[in-house]
A = this chain, B = another copy of it.
Amino acid sequence: MTAKPPTLGRMVNGFDPAAPSDMDERTREDIARRQKLLGPAYRLFYRTPVQVDHGRGVHLYDRDNNEYLDAYNNVASVGHANAHVTDAIMAQARRLCTHTRYLQDGIVEYAASLLPSFGGRIASDGHMMFTCTGSEANDLAMQIAMHRTGNRGIIITSEAYHGNSYLTSRFSPSLGEGAPLGTWVRRVSTPDSYRIPPAEIAARMVREVTAQIEDLQRRGEGIAAFIADSVFSSDGIYTTPVDILPQVARVVHAAGGLMIADEVQSGFARTGERFWGYQRHGLDPDIVTLGKPMGNGYPVAGLAVTHDAVAAFGRDRRYFNTFGGNSVAIAAAGATLEVIRSEGLQENARDVGAFMRQELRNIMADAPCIGDVRGAGLYIGVEVVHPGTMLADPATAARIVNALRERRILISATGHDANILKIRPPLIFSRADARQLCDALHAIIRDGGQT
């Protein structure tokens, strides 16, 4: 793998004001005005940023009504502007939008509807708690884990992303070198199924986790939790093997720590095979965190937790989030869940995902710059390498992402070297959509990844 230069505040697939781009004058002015008013911490996607005006289903449209195929947005999971969800938001917003310190039926019904899906200990005696963002969910999960264990140590994978709050950013190395990691945070290797024999990966991670627990204990921190998303998304999307997490759980639990499954990205049917990504691994987590697609864009997130994990926190502390789980958030989440279930979107994710991976493997057969195609459901990674090697080729990956954007197809890249194409469309993506994406990708690669 090639090493990236230090990237203070830069990001994968970020717009670089210093890089050449043939954008029009209006876009240039929009960017300058945005920079002035929103300041230096905001980033845009793509070499030429995309202006968006409206959306429908799997498509976004700019103000000139140009259509973009959205193959990246895992928030609008049941489709942009889904009518069932927007109608539910409207009906509830016109009726009531208030918080959890009054009795309301909706929040309790939603929890009753979702809790059984988690299986294991959470389904049997667990609880749901509501936040507004995945960052808040992971922040709260870790507060609960620290309270439960009396420890502070956190173990993550090498390139993890778990949030933007003070605490979660301290265990999110993918934010870049400008974002400090906590001294109590330990990283274990990416479960790189492309370069490591799959049969060795679980044992390797168990070995590394064990060593890091011992190190945390020697420093008086102990282990509060191991946290990972089950597709290791920002590490590079590693969807197999699926025997890793229960083996890690054994050593984490033995040391008194909790297992947190971050399902902010991989949850709500995206991986196709199971409703929750961790279920592919057969894990029985202590806490499951939820976010992005939960309300199809309405800010709602949260967690599910075993009674044991949260009992002491609930006794000694309390949790209140003014907007978290408010009446409308719950209506949006409920309607989104109804669409996923009634339209069979888990099955669609499984089928269209498998179809797309097969198409991508067909492309790989005569595209030496593609080293690997992997994924589960509609969470797909395509590894871009220097031909004939396993060396990451981030420059070609970036060219492909931007060439697709010029053809109005939106994807991004991920991984330590930003060389893995990240394809993560709404769950309503069809085979025709997948074929459109693959045909464009194939043409671009035949042209040498040039725009």
Residues of A within 8 A of B (CB): 8-11, 14, 27, 30-31, 33-34, 36-45, 49-55, 60, 73, 75-76, 80-81, 83, 86, 89-90, 93-105, 107-108, 111-112, 115, 126-129, 131-136, 139-140, 142-143, 164-167, 169, 175-176, 178-179, 291-292, 296-300, 305, 307, 310-311, 313-324, 326, 328-329
Contact = CB atoms under 8 A, between A and B. Distances in A.
A317 B39 contact: no
A228 to B, nearest CB: 19
A76 B322 CA distance: 11
Contact of A44 (B30, B103, B178): B103
Contact of A318 (B107, B129, B175): B175
A329 B129 contact: no
B127 A139 contact: no
A42 B129 contact: yes
A8 B315 contact: yes
29 contacts: A8-B315, A9-B315, A14-B318, A38-B129, A39-B305, A39-B314, A40-B127, A40-B310, A40-B311, A40-B315, A41-B317, A50-B103, A51-B103, A53-B95, A81-B97, A86-B90, A86-B94, A89-B90, A93-B297, A97-B297, A133-B133, A133-B136, A143-B169, A178-B317, A298-B299, A298-B323, A299-B324, A299-B326, A299-B329
A8 B41 contact: no
A104 B297 contact: no
A41 B129 contact: yes
Contacts of A54: 95-96
Number of this chain's copies in the complex: 2
A136 B165 contact: yes
A166 B179 contact: no
A313 B175 CA distance: 12
A41 B112 contact: no
A40 B306 CA distance: 11
A117 to B, nearest CB: 14
Contacts of A11: 318
